[in-house]
Amino acid sequence: MKSPKLSVNPDKLNAFLGQALNDMGAAFQTALIILGERLGLYKAMAGAGPLTPAELAAKTQTDKRYVREWLCAQAASNYVTYDPATDRFTLPDEQALLLAVDTGPAYLPGAYQIIASTVVDEPQLRETFRTGFGFGWHQHDAGLFEGTERFFRPSYAANLINSWIPSLDGAEAKLKAGAQVADVGCGHGASTILMAQAYPKSRFTGFDYHEPSINRAREAAHAAGVSDRVRFSVAGAKDYPGKTYDLVAFFDCLHDMGDPAGVARHVRSSLKPDGNWMIVEPFAGDRIEQNLNPVGRVFYAASTMICTPASRAQEVGLALGAQAGETKLKEVVQQGGFTRFRRATETPFNLILEARP
């Protein structure tokens, strides 16, 4: 292949080189953040004030030389601060909230598990670019499943009960009184369990076609003490059973479906006449240029490696993608027979959409 003829602007070249170097450092952080979490380094630093590498190593029963190198990498990335006068490193409270508090509103290490899984799966995904075939959710490295639950759960915990369900038309009152709820594409069951804990008079069923995830969800429900009102079953979005649900919920998964319009038809058939369909989707504008920002950067990358291949692996293979936007989502929902559709609320990372028969 002949080399292309290029006309290079030196200033633009240097600017892009600086961006690329920054991205290289960020990419290396994936392994370092996972390592820091699993060794308990972040948790040991949280609220502890300035620490020497030896002190952190002693707290975590790790080797001080390796810990020193890890700390230097963290300091160069501004994840921790360094005081050359004392040779001590500090994890600021703001970083600690995101890296050490797994019950916080935006715990980040799970996201890095997702990223790591896409690197493991790159050879298989490379082949999909050549063939146009799909790569199903179930085919991915197992780190994807755990990372997805751990990354999304904090956001659901912060918003689902306090904001998202109250934004739906009449849904909260039904759940408080006692409703039947289907959580479709439930994964490890975090969203299902959160709803069950908040609404003890209601009954919840989580559905997912991925049997290992359903098994994990059952274990989680037992551990949370909600097994008496929660059950999990292996089923797809177009064939899950039941015809009398008051609420059907889809969390960050409709765009992964091969046939979202067909899914919408099945959801409509499973709802009571006055039921609600809550569709939580990644935040996106309708046009590409609206999504060329840090959030869109993350979601487009995830969509390339996870969401689009997942849809392509199913019937129809529409491949909406994680940045589909509200207009496209509305179209497939209306094709399924829903007559009412609106944006109920939003966060910087999610659109919370409501559809009604």
Question: Per the structure block, which two tokens stand in for 92?
Answer: 């600021």
Q: What is the dihedral of CA 21, 23, 26, 28, to 10 degrees?
A: -70
Q: Is residue 184 part of a domain?
A: yes
- Looking at the chain, how many residues does it have? 357
Residues 89 and 114 both lie in one domain = no
Q: Concatenate the DSSP letters of all residues of 320-353 into one string.
A: --TT--HHHHHHHHHHTT--EEEEEEE-SSEEEE
Q: Which of 49, 79, 97 is the last residue of a domain?
A: 97
Asked whether residue 12 is assigned to any structural domain, the reply reads no
Q: Do 249 and 282 have their domain in common?
A: yes
Q: Which residues contact 238 (CB under 8 A, 6 or more apart)?
A: 259, 262, 263, 266
Residues 323 and 227 in one domain: yes
Does one domain contain both 59 and 128?
no
The string of pLDDT tens digits covering residues 285-320 is 999 999 999 999 999 999 999 999 999 999 999 999
Which tokens sit at 33? 């953040």
Q: Are residue 200 and residue 255 in the same domain, yes or no?
A: yes
Residue 328 maps to a domain: yes
- What the block records as the tokens of 157 is 């915990």
Q: Report yes or no on 178 lying in a domain.
A: yes
pLDDT single digits (tens) 329-348: 999 999 999 999 999 999 99
Contacts of 7 (CB under 8 A, 6+ apart): none
Rounded to two decimals, what is the model's pTM?
0.94
Residues 117 and 219 in one domain: no
* Domain finish residue from 112, 127, 154: 154
Q: Tell me: do 329 and 220 sit in the same domain.
A: yes
CATH number where 245 lies = 3.40.50.150
pLDDT tens figures, 31-70: 999 999 999 999 999 999 999 999 999 999 999 999 999 9
11 within a domain of the structure (yes/no): no
Q: Based on the domain organization, do 219 and 351 belong to the same domain? A: yes
* 270-281 burial: b if 16+ Cβ within 10 Å, else e: bbeeebbbbbbb
First-to-final CA distance of the chain: 56
Among 52, 69, 97, the domain boundary falls at 97
- Confidence at 4, pLDDT banded by 50, 70, 90: confident
Judge whether residue 132 has pLDDT over 90. Answer: yes
Asked whether 98 and 104 are in contact (CB, 8 A), the reply is yes
Asked if residue 138 is part of any domain, the answer here is: yes
Please state, in angstroms and rounded to a whole number, the distance separating the CA atoms of residues 161 and 144: 25
Q: Domain for residue 263, yes or no?
A: yes
Confidence band of 230 (pLDDT split at 50, 70, 90): very high
Q: Are residues 199 and 329 in the same domain?
A: yes
Q: What's the whole-number average pLDDT of the chain? A: 97
Is residue 265 a part of any domain in this protein?
yes
How many separate domains does the chain show? Answer: 3
- If asked whether residues 31 and 114 sit together in one domain, one would say no
Domain CATH number, residue 32? 1.10.10.10
| 227 and 108 belong to one structural domain | no
Q: Which domain holds residue 74?
A: 25-97
* Same-domain pairing of 226 and 341: yes
Mean pLDDT of the 252-265 span: 98
